[in-house]
Every structure is written in C-alpha cells, then in structure tokens.
C-alpha cells in the first residue's frame, strides 16, 4: 500500500550534545555568518527566541544584536546545550541579556511574546511540526517574524513544501523564501 511521506515520519533523531562542536566552530563561521543570516530581522531592544539553540552559535551573536535593552531566550531540549550557551554568554559578557528554557519533547512550553524567532536546523528534529508552528504563532508579536532554516540533507523539497502548507493552514503568512541562509529557508509572520 502506498503511503505518503510526512515530516513526522521523516523526522530524525535529536542532534546529541556530544556533537555540539560540529555546530560552533571556525569553519561554520566562514560559511554561515550569524549577522548575514539574522541581522536584518533584529533591532536593538528586541526580544528574540532562539528555539533549538544547541550550543548557542546564533544565541551569542543575537544577544549582541539586541543590545543591553534587549533579551534573548535560549531554548533547547538538552540541558547540556543550555549549559554550553551559559558558559559562552559569561565569556562574551552578555549573560544578563539571556534567559534559559528547557523544552519538553513535543512541547516548547513558552508563552513570552517575542519580536523574532529563529528555528535553525531544528524543526525536522521535532516530532510535531504543526504543534511547534502553533506554539510559535502564539508567541509572535504583531509584525514579529519567524525564520525557519532546514538542512537540505535532511529535509527534501517536498517535505519543506509540506511545512509551508502547514504554516499557511495555521494562519501564518509567508513573507519570503530568503536566499543564502544555509538551507531551505522560510520567513513567516502573523
């Protein structure tokens, strides 16, 4: 019997914290500049969510972008990832701009209103993309933006289109399919 492939069926395992070094290193900085990827969406004073933040490759740069009056919420399933972010934030002197949130599998579990959300290489690791998008929609301030970037290696064009359809069915609006962000990319607003 033919079955359709869904993102749920294709979801991968969670990237283990032991592989954090693969997510924050000099090589990545050469090809994925955080400023080029998210700089255009963030202003000083903003409240930003880095969901599935991993070891904080984007978190620290975003904390610098929001300035002293802004806030960045670092959220991840793995406490070990959050601990790495905390150490880096201390080293970069931006700890007071950060808050930390440990997510549950299947539930991000935040209700703060935010101006910008980054979901970089993480939606394919969640078991429930629709539930995830619904939660993100509830958190966005009017005019707020959600940038999704998914790795081409793990997420086919077909699966990505399914994610776009899910987002639109939930009432999120597609602003852009930005280029040069490091994967299949989608900018949404409410």
Binding-site ranges for ligand SAM (CB under 6 A): 14-15, 23, 52-54, 57, 75-78, 81, 103, 105, 108, 120-122, 125-126
Q: How far is the CB of 148 from ligand SAM (least distance, A)?
A: 11
For ligand SAM, give the closer residue by CB, 55 or 144.
55
Q: Name 102's bridge partners.
A: 76
For ligand SAM, give the closer residue by CB, 87 or 173.
87
Q: How far is the CB of 92 from ligand SAM (least distance, A)?
A: 16
Q: How far is the CB of 1 from ligand SAM (least distance, A)?
A: 30
For ligand SAM, give the closer residue by CB, 68 or 186.
186
Length of the chain: 190
Cα–Cα distances (Å) from 54 to 60, 157, 167, 177, in that order, read 11, 24, 23, 24
> Nearest Cα to 108, choosing from 95, 127, 94, 121?
127
Beta strand 114-120 with 71-76: parallel, antiparallel or unpaired?
unpaired
Q: How far is the CB of 97 from ligand SAM (least distance, A)?
A: 18
For ligand SAM, give the closer residue by CB, 3 or 18.
18
Give every CB contact of residue 10 below 8 A, 6+ residues apart in sequence: 124, 154, 155, 156, 159
Cα dihedral sign, 112-161-129-19: negative
């Amino acid at each position: 019997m033919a079955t359709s492939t869904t993102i749920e069926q294709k979801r991968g395992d969670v990237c283990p914290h032991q592989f954090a070094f693969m997510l924050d290193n000099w090589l990545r900085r050469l090809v994925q500049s955080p400023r080029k990827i998210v700089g255009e969406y963030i202003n000083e004073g903003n409240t930003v969510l880095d969901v599935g933040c991993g070891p904080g490759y984007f978190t620290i740069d975003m904390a610098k972008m929001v300035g002293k009056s802004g806030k960045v919420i670092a959220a991840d399933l793995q406490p070990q990832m959050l601990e790495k972010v905390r150490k880096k934030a201390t080293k970069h002197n931006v700890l007071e701009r950060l808050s930390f949130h440990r997510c549950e599998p299947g539930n991000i579990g935040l209700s703060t209103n935010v101006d910008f959300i980054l979901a970089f290489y993480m939606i394919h690791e969640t078991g429930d993309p629709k539930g995830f998008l619904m939660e993100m929609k509830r958190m966005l301030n009017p005019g707020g933006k959600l940038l999704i970037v998914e790795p081409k290696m793990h997420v086919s064009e077909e699966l990505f289109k399914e994610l776009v359809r899910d987002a639109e069915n939930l009432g999120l609006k597609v602003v852009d399919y930005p280029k040069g962000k490091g994967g299949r990319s989608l900018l949404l607003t409410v």
